[in-house]
Amino acid sequence: MAKPPGFSTISIHGKIPRTRAFKALVDPIVQNTTFLLDDAGDIEGILSGEGFIYTRVGNPTQAALEERIALLEGGEAALAFASGMAAIASTLMTLLEKGDHIISDEEIYGCSHDLFTGLSRMGIDTSFIDLSNLSELEDEIREDTKLIFFETPANPTMKLIDIGSICKIAKEHGIPVMVDNTFATPCIQRPLEHGADIVIHSATKYLCGHGDAMGGVIVGDAGLVSRVRSTALKDFGGCISPFNAWLILRGLKTLSIRMRAHDKNAKEVAGFLEGERWVESVLYPGLPSHPQYEIARRQMSCGGGMLAFYMKEGVDVGRFLSRLNLCSLAVSLGTAETLVEQPYSMTHHDYPDKERLGINERLIRVSVGLEDVEDIIADLKEAVE
């Protein structure tokens, strides 16, 4: 091709020209658990990602997914897992050891917070701070700090963190930065371009897009990916199934067009909510009213499909949620269906000090789906009325 392929083309084809197994247009599901070897000495190379020996450490369908996501994120290599939590845990187990220190933003997914907290049993300490305040980061860095972790936008309040500024400080101290890019996807935000070292996704969400497959992925330099594959993935066994890898590959083909539609609907829903008397405030990166709107303009191409809002005091939140009809009361996000949840009692029900972070009973998180936006708005309106 005369010019590098665009995002949608890569989402569909991967590398161009691509190698097509059996001349198949669609990547096949290779359901094997084990593979034939030419020589007994092949194993070392295979564990580094060159070829296949056993599906726990690699599989052709998994490899196709990894290649595609690495290209979309602009990274050297990627590694897929059974879930986003398996991806985070495996990477931490590879990078860290007893006596190390992590700095994490104080507002992250509840299970990620539980994981970091649980690492204290292994002698790995975590400081939870507000990474939107750069001076807090400077004050918290220690000699034993080995990783900085955050989400942007953050779950559930859509807080944004300046990736470039965090990475500049981290590089001065030689500390790798790991960014959870699940909410934005590489279609909207590419953290590696802003200096991050590792990107993590719960591929269960927007990358899959259909709510029918679980998976996780990390993207980074080839050396790191090889280390995680040959240690934590091999030894802990959090491998993705070939079928789930295939389902996520299928989802990637429509990622670009889906994210544009999610963004369009979310903008309209956010605008509607801002004008409603029963809404106190709306948190959406695509609105000028967002507290970090200027950061969104610098590092995101659009607002995406996730938003949150606070209902005014006196509104019966429980009744509102129970009266939703088209919109579904459910955890997770990134599906074609609109999903609504109350983080206080659902995804962040046991989160420490959550009310200080703004996670109260009046906060509602919405994963805006692909239905006709007039129907989404009508359902929210009818539920509250």
> Which residues form the catalytic set?
56, 109, 180, 205
Please give the Cα distance from 101 to 91 (Å, whole number). Answer: 15
CA nearest neighbour of 298 among 155, 191, 210, 204 = 191
**The 3-state secondary structure of 7-23, one letter per residue:** HHHHHHHCCCCCCCHHH
CA nearest neighbour of 361 among 375, 344, 380, 346 = 344
Alpha helix ranges (H) inside the chain: 7-13, 43-47, 60-73, 84-95, 110-118, 134-140, 163-172, 222-228, 234-236, 242-252, 255-274, 293-299, 317-322, 373-384
The arrangement of strands across the sheet holding 216-220 comes to 77-81, 216-220, 198-202, 177-180, 145-151, 101-105, 125-129
Phi/psi region, residue 312 (left: phi>0; alpha: psi -120 to 50; beta: rest), is: beta
Please give the Cα distance from 277 to 142 (Å, whole number). Answer: 47
Q: Which residues contact 322 (CB under 8 A, 6 or more apart)?
A: 329
Please give the Cα distance from 304 to 140 (Å, whole number). Answer: 31
* Type of residue at 69: I
Angle at 75 between CA 71 and CA 80, to 5 degrees: 75
Task: Say which residue the tokens 């006709």 belong to.
Answer: 372
Could you tell me the two tokens for 335? Answer: 């599906």
CA nearest neighbour of 338 among 346, 350, 330, 348 = 330
- CB count within 10 Å of CB 58 equals 24
Distances 125 to 118, 231, 353, 357 between C-alpha atoms, Å: 9, 22, 18, 21
Provide Rg for the chain, Cα atoms. 21
Please give the Cα distance from 260 to 378 (Å, whole number). Answer: 21
CA within 13 Å, CB half, 181 = 30
